[in-house]
Structure 1
Amino acid sequence: MISTGKMRALLLSIAFVFSTALWAQDETGSIKGQVIDAETGEPIFQAGVRVVGTYFAQVTSFSGQFNIEDVPPGDYSVKVEILGYGTQQINGVTVTAGEETEINFRMEGSRDVLEEVTVIGQKNQVDLEVAGSEITIRQTEISQMNVRDVQEVVAMQAGITKTQDGLQIRGARVYETEYIVDGISAQDPLAGTGFGVNVASSSVSSIDVITGGAGAEFGGGSSGVINTKIREAGDKFAISGRFQTDHLFDPNAATSFNTDIAELTFGFPIPGTDKKVTMFNNVTMNLTDEYFPNQASQLQSSLFTGNPELWAPRQTNAWTHTLKLAWAVRPGTKITLTNQHSLNINQNTRSLQIVGFDAILTPGYQYERSNNLDNATTYTHHSNLTAININQILSKQWGLNVSLGRLFTNLRADANGREFRTPTVDRILDEDNIITYPVGVFNPDDPSGIFFVRPGDGLVNNGGITPTWHDHYAEEYTIRAKAHWIPESKVHEVSMGIENVFNEYQWVDVTRPWVGAPIIINDTLTTPSISIGSSNDIWKVNPVRGGIFVQDKITYKGIIASIGVRMNYWAPGKFADDAVADPNAPVIDQVREDYMDKTVGFAGLRWKARLLPRINVSFPVTANNVLYFNYGHSMRLPHPRFMYAGLDPVYQDRSFLSFLGNPDLDPEVNVSYEVGYKAAVTKNFGFTVAAYNNNRFDYIVSRRVIVEDQTGRPVTKTMYINQDYAKVVGVELGANYRIGKHFRVFGNVSYQQARGKSNSARESSLQIEQNGEVALTREQFLAWDRPWNVNLGTVFAPDSTMRILGMNLNGFEAFLQFGYSSGFRYTPQEKIGENDLGRPEYEVLNDQYLQERATPWITSDLKLSYTLFTDKKSGSGLTFSLEVRNLLDWNNAQIINPVTGRAYEYGDDVPNTWRDPRPQYNGPQESGVDPRNPARYLAPRQILYGIGFRF
């Protein structure tokens, strides 16, 4: 492992090499020009002009002119900034020794606040002005990739790993990322799956991925930020669409999962508005039966009772609709309205995960119920996000952005559409594993005359239904305002803002809901209803959270420093306040005392707050070579279930080890450091290297406590406290290379180590039971630690100027992606002997907990397309495509056999807790489930054929 100190020394060494090579120039050149108003032709006075990635900067004279001298030869970007006109940047400006390079800027009145940048020329291969790990991917790049949604785009970036649970940024848990769509949080705060709404890749204008050095305006996540901006329509009517299928020729082919993908996108200016009001629309449908052999005959949802064949014709069904209205009221004033709607119906158990609590890295396929998926758990996730953004330039020094938003998400999990419970129960509903015909006899020749049958595969098969019934909704209203101030000196850019989020959460989680319903006995006698399931967790709360921030971006002679601070504040809400104040509520006395000591009463609620400092600094060491450093605190509030479970005075779960919330929980905090180096070697090649150290505190752990119920009897419950810790260190290298106009290569390599005390709140209590309190001080590898992650991609997009063997390749595009990541960590097992049947027996090596790594993942995707143009100037035409996912058909293991370190293959030895399917060992003492779960591997190769149009 490379330490932060060694990494810093390496970066300084690289800087010295570039300094020697690039500054050893005897002759220099200059850049001169003029900045004028594009509409009036008048010169613009006091516009800030600077050469990006250098110390060279000037302010324009009364005639709008500038002349920057003594610039070393090379390729540069030159930027002009002035409030009221926005920002314009010219890339690929070449300076030659002994010569003057002339460029001129024609600035148009801006309809947006300062952040909108107009770029002239090809995109820079590295952003030299950002003092952190941040990358922006725009629609032109996304359209060339083999991606379907925002998460697939983000997964190809440095430091990001995609697992069954979602996206992990730099070794953090999936829920620690802040997801934003058009200024509003898009994360379901209760499901824990990252995105609360799905965003199709073709609906995106740009995606900002920040994995290190996020500014003070971001305060909802502790690992990184994924900031998505939705497209707007242009000033002309445009429409496009596509359809893809993998069963065009042979629906039974191994490469077919019965997948159909359809999309329609259109935009236009509203008639009668002089093109000032535009509307953008996107509708996407993604239907598939996945790669598993069994499916339900028909998915049903109790949220959508009519026409299930319409909304859920396959095993996995995803629908999205995006709408965006944009109104350019006048120069300097713009209003947009975004509505993002998504619906998912599937049987993937990862749709609902209690963040930081559930076991991780488990596929969502319900293998135990695969004999009859019509009785399995079906998940319906319905979400809607609405965002209104008002951008207003107040003067040459002041700009304002106001965002108003509503996010609504609803997740229902039921027994494939069955109601909560029937009025009476007249059959066995509990799932069970029973021996089915034909019965296999294990010892047919036993002379004792006592015979045993083989136990089978262990899958449920008695006609029972899933015991899961869950429903939650989250409704969030957001008010956010951000102001910019740029004094005439142009040295400072001050931003400040406030954000308030008003929430309503309702949670209903019931296990075996039929328990407590009247049971029919001989059609005459019924038992009274006495409970809500065998266990339950029910509450409805109204917490409030918000933040105030201020940040000053200082630009002085090439040095860019952002110094900011954010204060997050939150109130657990009246529900928690009342529980703490009620002496009869099941709240631990110490929790009551701490809650009152650590909160402040205001506006009828109890409040907490935390300061989060942020510092980002970058400075050029040579022309186009920049060192940067950032330091910051960030936080994530705990999952509401950890705070509110079991506190409702009406709905009390009296089952053994039921859950008890802790309203005094503090947020989980990350203190991060990063040092990096960025270099634009040429206008076509750039790279970044960074080292980071993230220290995470106050992760949630579970403990068993004894409280008195309403009758005064002592009851054991599971409660949560802040105690766990994790540390993640890593190194990242990213590079982009452009060959002419037709060929682009990008790649990144990262190495990290994630260590901590436990992997989840549940695991922490189990460790104490097994190893005592000493478990609290033991640091170990975390289960999601996968040290190596490599992403490589190439785009080939020739035009009419490029010919191969005389052929015109205009309209042809190719995208190839390759990925490598370390396999999952596991605890090895050692053979200790054999049982009476000769089956090998194994012992867990607890002293090597999670120290072994399974077989690595290798991913590869290919996309080929060809467009028959009807209008080459506008790009209109008909497109044919071929998409191959998992091109190499690599077996990527996601359920690891700890005996072999790979996914199970028939004939492998298995742990004692697994059923061994080999006939000679499959005796009556075998338990567990047959290990041949088809989800033990990721999806095999899939081939999709597509057709699309654009006009």
Structure 2
Amino acid sequence: MTDRDTGDPLPGATIVIDGTTRGSATDLNGEYVILNVDPGVYTLRASFVGYGTQVVREVTVSSDFTTLVDFQLSPGVELEEVVVQGQRLIQQDEVATTNVFRGEEIQELPVEGFSDVLALAAGVVDNGAGGQPNIRGGRSNEIAYIVDGVLVEDPFSGTGAGFDVARQSIDELQVMTGGFSAKYGEAMSGIVVVNTPAGSNDWHGSVRIGTDGYTLEGLGKGGPVASTGDRLDLTTGELRDLTYKRPFSNDWGTRRFEASLSGPILKDRITFFINADRRDTDTYQNQFQGPVRPAVFPWQDMVGYEFYRSVSNTFVDASGTPLEPDDLPEAVFDLEEGDVITQELVDALREAGVDVDRMSRVGVRNYQMTHFLGLYDDLTRVTANLGVKITPDLDARLGYKLTRNEYRGYDHSYKFLPQYNNTFEREIDVYSLQLTHRVTPTVFYELRGSLTDNRFYRFLYDEMKDPDNPQRFWRAFNRALTIGAFNTEGLSDADGGSNYDFYGYSNIELYLDYPFMLTADLDEPLMLSRTLDLDGDGTPDYLRGQRLTQEMIDQIKNLQNLTDEELAARGLNRGTIPVQAPPTDRQYVERKIKDYQFSFDLTAQLNPRNLLGFGLKYRRMDLFQYDVFPNTRWDGSTPLDDPDFRAWDPQDELYVEASPFELAAYVEDKIEFGNLVIRPGLRLDVLDPDIASVVGYSSGANVRRPATPDEAIPTEPAQTDWRLSPRLGIAFPITDRARLSFNYGQFLQYPEYNQMYQGYRTGTWVPGQGYQDLTSLGIPFGFDLGFETFIGNPNIDPQKTIFYQFDAEFLVSDNFKLGASLFYKDIYDYISYNRILGE
């Protein structure tokens, strides 16, 4: 701060942030500093005895940046207040490429959360709905997401864990794409920092409602009835006349409601902010219109389609018995390929005794399926913060964030039977506490503690999530996956090709003791795969495609005293019932993560030229993953209630339970010499994987295959790893309208834990006993399975990027700036597989 007329410094002058009690006073050189200011836009007021007051408005403050505001006061106490606009487009101390989005700007953008805002930053590539972004050619798991000082990620995959923050909850978002300081680690491509508000002394509130229905009726699921037509009954595989709701072609069933409220509980002492957001959508992939192709369906459902050819059961009665040609109407003998099937022809067939509604089927060449796939994506997000000013120099902040996401995405194999694709469910709760203590006007520290409770499930039936239910997997284990042309029954495509290899119904023999005959097919009975003549009188008692009933099952059980020949004459095999079973995505995945983080960060303005930063971080995770994919059906040889029963082989089961911990420390200095800014830093990272590793595996030694399946593999505790990574950033403002910068850094990232733990089975699930530990027996890695298996390596080196960047920014006008970056990456130790031959 200087005298406008003489340029002399004004020691002892006062600078205050309007609307707060925060401020500072100038030193003997007229310099001042105000530390620990939340991101936002402020008004500064400067005053000095014998001088007029000067006000600078629209001063933008961003995390980890210095905002320079100079004052020039004019002598004279009678002068009017001088008002100056303080916004700058060029951040003079920026030593790396950082995109900063303020909350006010985000509210004006057509976005839903911070993941959408991230896609707008230069250098970020958006991979579309549900995909993870990439920064400057890096992989999606090379980005660290930090929300209110808490690292939010899925340690197994290394990605953002499906966590998001609604747009009304964003106070500031920073995207660091070109190097970052030693304060940040656990990433090689970029850092995303999200700050959420804690409220203020002013009341604010908003409500937002969105829909793609564009009608009042559209605010309810689906909207008005738009059209009807032939649709596939997803339960039976048959066609039916199904009305469906779709008011416009771009109505994807999306409905959103978001509301936020903030204000004071006790003015100047306690404030709050809360936001809740709910979005339901059927997704843009939900409605499917298939290709024009041959298909086989009952005659009545094929009226209006073009005849292709007859099949084996084209002319049968309700019992499945073929009719004699003399009994058929003459019109059917005149049918040629391409002729349209008329209602008159179908009525004539019905009068002749042909079961045109079910048993008798005809091949057409121009069938086109249109139906809804049953896809959905439902998301709930909540952000709640409480700010407490304990003393003028001690602040506390409590935070809670919730994410609930349940969805069923598109799977090409299940295109025609999407209801048998798995459901995905993620539940995330983040609890945090932050204390900020301003020890002196130039020194403050922050203490943070947080717990992230992250739960993820991939399942078909709800009971699969209950380890205490001994029958949790029974309904999923009876299926067979069969890929083939769906409902074409041997008809080839008209052009000789085929692009319709999807999962369809399979004919299987299911054991009579199977307890879910009547509820296995998504709580519906299964269907017979062939016609049955149970009393042997030559007349079918039950027809192919008929739903199972308890009476039918009891009758078949009562016939088990017959000989095999007598059973075969009735369409049966001993001990089983022939059913037509749909496919199911039988894989089950369960992940439970408790992520504890504690950090200490100290910031000290040692003098007007040096801003010192120092920090420590401790992170411990309780990780649990259970993944099972049964590749065989129950064969009936073992009672289902036997505790030793397994419907899968060991290679189909992954069980990991571990508590790894990570440590980090950093020190950095921000040195300012006039227009030159130098920011050196050094970071230490430590990892203990908390799991065993195969002896000699890390050194590449051959691993001896066990002599017997029960022999344990020799293991030893994994090593604790530590690494140093230096950082250096330099900024040189040429003028107040141009800046050059250079950045160098070594950025380390430990592999995601599913790479380190791959192939481990530290436990197993036993029906009636729940999860059981196996580590006392030695970890069974699956070397005895007779084929090559993939085994993780907890001692693997961290991935490393050495980064260089030159950056330039030029202010073309007061509202437009031009920037250019030239960067080079040298990447080491990407994850790969080494083949190790057993002795």
Shorter-chain TM band: 0.5 to 0.7
CA distance in 2, matches of 1:698, 1:427: 40
1:104 alignment partner AA: Q
1:678 aligns with 2:788: no
1:335 — aligned with what? 396
2:14 — aligned with what? 36
2:423 — aligned with what? 378
CA distance in 2, matches of 1:113, 1:152: 21
CA distance in 2, matches of 1:443, 1:152: 42
CA distance in 2, matches of 1:133, 1:152: 19
1:133 alignment partner AA: T
Q: Is the 8 A contact 1:567 1:611 kept in 2?
A: yes
Cα gap change, 1:457 to 1:428, in 2 (>3 Å): farther
CA distance in 2, matches of 1:521, 1:84: 67
1:317 — aligned with what? 378
Cα gap change, 1:172 to 1:589, in 2 (>3 Å): closer
Superposed, 1:513-552 pairs within 5 Å as 515=632, 519=636, 528-529=645-646, 531=648, 535-552=652-669
CA distance in 1, matches of 2:255, 2:660: 41
Residue number among 184, 192, 212 corresponding to 2:178 in the alignment: 212
- Deviation per CA, 1:214-233: give whole Å up to 9, x if none: 11110121111100001122
1:266 alignment partner AA: L
1:257 aligns with 2:370: no
Moved more, 171-180 or 33-42: 33-42
2:88 alignment partner AA: N
2:481 — aligned with what? 431
Q: Residue 700 of structure 1: SS of its match in structure 2?
A: coil
1:461 — aligned with what? 504
- Tell me how large the CA RMSD over aligned residues is: 4.2
1:501 alignment partner AA: R
1:902 — aligned with what? none
CA positional deviation for 1:126: 2.9
Residue number among 585, 590, 597 corresponding to 1:478 in the alignment: 597
4+ residue stretches of structure 1 with deviation over 6 A? Answer: 28-34, 39-46, 84-93, 111-120, 452-456, 520-527, 586-589
Q: Residue 185 of structure 2: SS of its match in structure 1?
A: coil
1:490 aligns with 2:608: yes
Residue number among 431, 441, 464 corresponding to 1:396 in the alignment: 441
Q: Is the 8 A contact 2:665 2:684 kept in 1?
A: yes
2:735 — aligned with what? 622
Moved more, 547-556 or 414-423: 414-423
Structure 2 unmatched ranges of 5 or more: 46-50, 70-83, 216-222, 224-245, 289-372, 466-470, 506-581, 704-715, 765-779
Q: Is the 8 A contact 1:197 1:385 kept in 2?
A: no
Q: Is the 8 A contact 1:570 1:608 kept in 2?
A: yes
Q: Residue 116 of structure 2: SS of its match in structure 1?
A: helix
1:286 — aligned with what? 279
Residue number among 612, 617, 625 corresponding to 1:507 in the alignment: 625
Q: Is the 8 A contact 1:619 1:628 kept in 2?
A: yes
Cα gap change, 1:520 to 1:212, in 2 (>3 Å): same
Cα gap change, 1:657 to 1:261, in 2 (>3 Å): farther
Q: Is the 8 A contact 1:324 1:337 kept in 2?
A: yes
Cα gap change, 1:437 to 1:501, in 2 (>3 Å): closer
CA positional deviation for 1:643: 1.3
Cα gap change, 1:684 to 1:639, in 2 (>3 Å): same
Q: Is the 8 A contact 2:90 2:737 kept in 1?
A: no
CA distance in 2, matches of 1:84, 1:193: 30
- Deviation per CA, 1:113-137: give whole Å up to 9, x if none: 9979698846432322211101211
Residue number among 133, 154, 162 corresponding to 1:167 in the alignment: 133
CA distance in 1, matches of 2:402, 2:435: 21
Q: Is the 8 A contact 2:655 2:763 kept in 1?
A: no
Q: Is the 8 A contact 1:112 1:393 kept in 2?
A: no
Q: Residue 374 of structure 1: SS of its match in structure 2?
A: helix
CA positional deviation for 1:478: 0.6
1:371 alignment partner AA: F
CA distance in 1, matches of 2:729, 2:146: 22
Superposed, 1:240-255 pairs within 5 Å as 240-249=206-215, 251-255=246-250
1:387 aligns with 2:432: yes
- Deviation per CA, 1:484-508: give whole Å up to 9, x if none: 1212x31101110111101111111
Residue number among 13, 24, 33 corresponding to 1:81 in the alignment: 33
Q: Residue 115 of structure 2: SS of its match in structure 1?
A: helix
Q: Is the 8 A contact 1:441 1:454 kept in 2?
A: no
1:345 aligns with 2:397: no
Residue number among 366, 381, 394 corresponding to 2:411 in the alignment: 366
Residue number among 592, 609, 618 corresponding to 2:722 in the alignment: 609
1:76 — aligned with what? none
- Deviation per CA, 1:754-794: give whole Å up to 9, x if none: xxxxxxxxxxxxxxxxxxxxxxxxxxxxxxxxxxxxxxxxx
1:642 aligns with 2:755: yes
1:104 aligns with 2:54: yes
Superposed, 1:569-718 pairs within 5 Å as 569-573=686-690, 575-576=691-692, 579-580=693-694, 590=701, 606-648=719-761, 650=763, 652=780, 654=782, 655=785, 656-707=787-838
1:225 aligns with 2:191: yes
2:394 alignment partner AA: T
Cα gap change, 1:142 to 1:194, in 2 (>3 Å): same
Q: Is the 8 A contact 1:184 1:405 kept in 2?
A: yes
Q: Residue 744 of structure 2: SS of its match in structure 1?
A: strand
User: Quick one: percent identity of the two aligned structures?
Assistant: 18
CA positional deviation for 1:268: 2.7
Moved more, 114-123 or 666-675: 114-123
CA distance in 1, matches of 2:799, 2:763: 30
Cα gap change, 1:442 to 1:552, in 2 (>3 Å): closer
CA distance in 2, matches of 1:382, 1:169: 27
Superposed, 1:756-835 pairs within 5 Å as none
- Deviation per CA, 1:399-419: give whole Å up to 9, x if none: 101111111211111125452
1:596 — aligned with what? none
Q: Is the 8 A contact 2:102 2:171 kept in 1?
A: yes
Cα gap change, 1:611 to 1:242, in 2 (>3 Å): same
CA distance in 1, matches of 2:62, 2:394: 7
Q: Is the 8 A contact 2:124 2:133 kept in 1?
A: yes
Larger Rg: 2
Q: Residue 151 of structure 1: SS of its match in structure 2?
A: helix
Q: Is the 8 A contact 1:150 1:199 kept in 2?
A: yes
TM-score by length of 1: 0.56
Superposed, 1:16-31 pairs within 5 Å as none
Q: Residue 705 of structure 1: SS of its match in structure 2?
A: coil
Q: Is the 8 A contact 2:140 2:159 kept in 1?
A: yes
Cα gap change, 1:259 to 1:591, in 2 (>3 Å): farther
CA positional deviation for 1:238: 2.8
Q: Residue 483 of structure 2: SS of its match in structure 1?
A: coil
CA positional deviation for 1:693: 0.7
Residue number among 119, 134, 146 corresponding to 2:110 in the alignment: 146
CA distance in 1, matches of 2:440, 2:157: 43
CA distance in 1, matches of 2:66, 2:472: 57
CA positional deviation for 1:146: 0.5
Residue number among 649, 670, 689 corresponding to 1:553 in the alignment: 670
CA positional deviation for 1:470: 0.8
1:784 — aligned with what? none
Q: Is the 8 A contact 1:498 1:547 kept in 2?
A: yes
Structure 1 unmatched ranges of 5 or more: 1-27, 48-58, 67-79, 94-100, 296-311, 349-364, 445-451, 593-600, 708-713, 715-951
1:568 — aligned with what? 685
CA distance in 2, matches of 1:688, 1:389: 36
Cα gap change, 1:275 to 1:474, in 2 (>3 Å): same
- Deviation per CA, 1:302-345: give whole Å up to 9, x if none: xxxxxxxxxx9961111111111111222222111111110111
Cα gap change, 1:284 to 1:313, in 2 (>3 Å): farther
